[in-house]
Structure formats: C-alpha cells, structure tokens
Amino acid sequence: MKSILVAGFEPFNGQSVNPASEVLPLLANTSLTNAVVHCQTLPVIGAAAHEKLMTYIEQYQADIVLVLGQAAGRDKLTLERVAINVDDYPIKDNAGEQPLDQPIVRHGPAAYFTTLPIKSMTHAMNNANVPSAISNTAGTFVCNHIFYRTLHSLATELTTRKVVMGFMHLPLLPEQAQAQQFAMPLSEQLAGVQASLTAALAPTESVAMVTGSQC
C-alpha cells in the first residue's frame, strides 16, 4: 500500500481562500487502488512550511508527495518541472517577511528537477478533460521555496528510502477571480489532481508530449 501526501498552502496576500487548501478536504475522500491519501495544510512561510512538510512526510511514511499552490493568471493546472535556489519574494509572506535575492540553501545546487512523472500526470489530467500543462518556472515565492528545499532535504537527508516529490500550481477559483482573470471551478481542479495522483501511482512508460518553449 502506497502512502500519498498532498499538502496545500493556506490563503495569503489578504485573500480569504486558496484553491490549494480548499481542495484538500475533498481530496481526503479519494479512493485509489493500493494507496492511501493524506492531506495537510501548509503556512505561506518558507521555513515553517518546510518543517511541517518534512514532519508530515515522516509521520505518514509518504512515498509520493505533491504540494499544491495558487497561481493567479494561469489557465491550467500546471505541474512544475524545476525548482531554483533563490528566494526573491514579490510580496510579503504570511509572516511579513520578504527576502530578496537570497539563496534557499547556501552553497546548494542551482536547481532540482521534480522526481514525479509529470508528463504521465499531465497526460492523465488532459485525458480527464482538465486543462493541464507542464511549467518550467515555479516562481521565486514560497511555492518555489518549499519545492526546492524539500527536494534538497530528500536528496541529502532522507536517503534511507525513496520518496518522489513535486509541485502543482492551481488557477484561481471563480469567487477569487476579478475581471478577465481565468478561473476554474473547485470540482474541476479536484478531478485534475485526482487524475494526476492515479498516474503518479502507475505512470505510462513513454508519453510523447511537447512541453518545452522557444523562449
């Protein structure tokens, strides 16, 4: 039986909701073959989020870890390919901090790639009629921080067992979106995340998808 941990960020920047945490109570009822899904909310504070996530990974003995975050302006569920070693916050986090041009891990690698089968997961979401894509930037806010720092911890500290980890950005919910902003209903976002987890458990060996960009 596989153990899946899905963590989503709380609301931030003065907002009252975040799709990343709103989807968790619904996702907790998901039934997957040969897997159990655990859900937890994370604070929008880099160090605190990382500490909590690593505690949950150990608590649930997670085999698969997917962290969810909000990305206003995106019109698809986007799995992130790479996390980079920099904090350069465009806004303050929920502790009122705003680091600029700071390494997440001093002397750490410049970047880490996700260890999730993101092409299989994206293919599965699109097959479920949920608009999805692979993103090549997780930004430089708390989402990227937790993505990078957790992959670093898994690579350098938790080496006794295999844990695969990645990050997915979610669009705004209809109640959040302002004029001309894209929004996606919570039920559709839930269906996408569920499809992605099913694919993560049994990834397709070869998914031919063009996911790069020219610039």
92-151 pLDDT, tens digit per residue, is 999 999 999 999 999 999 999 999 999 999 999 999 999 999 999 999 999 999 999 999
Percentage of residues in the chain having pLDDT higher than 70? 95
Residue 200 pLDDT greater than 80, yes or no: yes
Give mean pLDDT, residues 88-95: 98
Tell me the catalytic residues.
Answer: 80, 143, 169
Q: What is residue 14's three-state secondary structure? A: coil
Angle at which helix 186-201 crosses helix 118-127, to 10 degrees, equals 130
Residue 75 pLDDT greater than 70, yes or no: yes
Long-range CB contacts for residues 184-189, cutoff 8 Å, separation at least 24: 184/19, 184/75, 184/77, 184/131, 186/19, 186/22, 186/23, 186/26, 188/130, 189/19, 189/23, 189/77, 189/130
pLDDT level of residue 70 (50, 70, 90 thresholds) = very high
Give mean pLDDT, residues 174-192: 92
What are the chain's domains?
2-201 (3.40.630.20)
